[in-house]
Amino acid sequence: MNRREFLTRSAAVCSAGWLSRYFPLRAEEETPALEITELTIPLPIEREFSALHISDTHLTFADDRDTEKNRARAEVRLEVFGGRQREMLRASLDYARQRGELLLHTGDMIDFVTAKNLDLTREALAEQDCFASAGNHDFYPTQGDGDREDEEYKAIAYDRVQAAFPNNLRFAARVIGGVNFVAFDDVFYYVADDLIDRFKAEAAKGLPIVAMCHCPLYTRELFELNIGPNRDRVAYIVGASDEEIAHYPKWCFKWGYNQQRTNDTTRAFLDYLREEKALKAILCGHLHFPWQGQFSETARQYIAGGNFKGQASEIKFVPMA
Ligand SMILES: [Fe+2]
Ligand SMILES: [Fe+2]
């Protein structure tokens, strides 16, 4: 499946114009249209229910509680992401609320850590029932400063960020409508040492699992799509081999990132996940375009597009025929 084959439609948001004081639209602006990807995921459940899956909102705001450098950075990054992130998040919250849908967010709610971005996150997620996994940008203390992408770096802002979210960002599980949603941290292309054991404990509960993370998980199909026909791009997925990563373009290595390398623990987790029959779907983001593909015999992987540009996936979880 390629990007043109996505079942995508644009849907005007039938918002009555309910405006929050936190996400105001300017008077002259119309409520933005969301680009909704409609998905249906059959599961061994009794009743159908729906959720709105969004990812990569990339809020870029700062105020006088933040450094001058971060305020300047926020202005630059606001334009990078089109300048309408708050409006798109507002429209997404309205869309989910009007339909009584759960909101699922798979990371990069913020572009980098500022007091204002965390306020906006806390307030948005307080008004809407939401289950979330973190993204790499959610832990960047500033954006573009040679982000190291390791645990020490993540720890700089971890507690402040965690306080803005409704569930634990390292690992969380929540049963909704007979589905066990399991969110875990793979934001820097590796997972925690105890993730296999924690995931197995969830699988032992006997419910269908929908996993949520930020970075997509390796499949050959997605790897080939992302590096492109000239094989000159970076895949941005978890679990590429060292040999594959060795062929990534040099810019990927210059900032001191972990170069999207994974480790033995993560490889073992992915091997386990490919065999785990309780796993029925994986929801993720990070790539900023919607996509889906088969991950294992029992599970497809669904990537939500960039919420900063109004992309969102409406998922119907339906009983299996
Ligand atoms: Fe992102
Ligand atoms: Fe990301």
Average pLDDT of the segment spanning 118-146: 90
Q: Is residue 73 a contact partner of residue 110, using CB atoms and an 8 Å limit?
A: no
* Least confidently predicted of 188-192, 258-262, 295-299: 258-262
pLDDT at 1 exceeding the cut of 80: no
pLDDT at 20 exceeding the cut of 50: no
| Residue at 76 is within a domain | yes
Q: Per-residue pLDDT tens for 25-54?
A: 444 456 678 999 999 999 999 999 999 999
Query: Distance, CA 205 to ligand 1 centroid (Å)?
Result: 32
pLDDT at 318 exceeding the cut of 50: yes
Per-residue pLDDT at 264: 96
| Residue at 15 is within a domain | no
| Residue at 20 is within a domain | no
| Residue at 28 is within a domain | no
Angle between helices 85-98 and 115-127 (to 10 degrees): 10
Residue with more model confidence, 148 or 256? 148
| Residue at 64 is within a domain | yes
Query: Distance, CA 270 to ligand 1 centroid (Å)?
Result: 22
| Residue at 136 is within a domain | yes
Per-residue pLDDT at 147: 59
| Residue at 196 is within a domain | yes
Average pLDDT of the segment spanning 93-120: 97
Q: Which CATH number covers residue 121?
A: 3.60.21.10
Residue with more model confidence, 321 or 301? 301
Domain extent for 121: 34-319
- Ligand 2 is an ion; its neighbours by CB within 5 Å are 108, 135-136, 286
Considering its fold, how many domains does the chain have in total?
Answer: 1
Note the pTM of the prediction, 2 decimals. 0.90
| Residue at 122 is within a domain | yes
Per-residue pLDDT at 247: 87
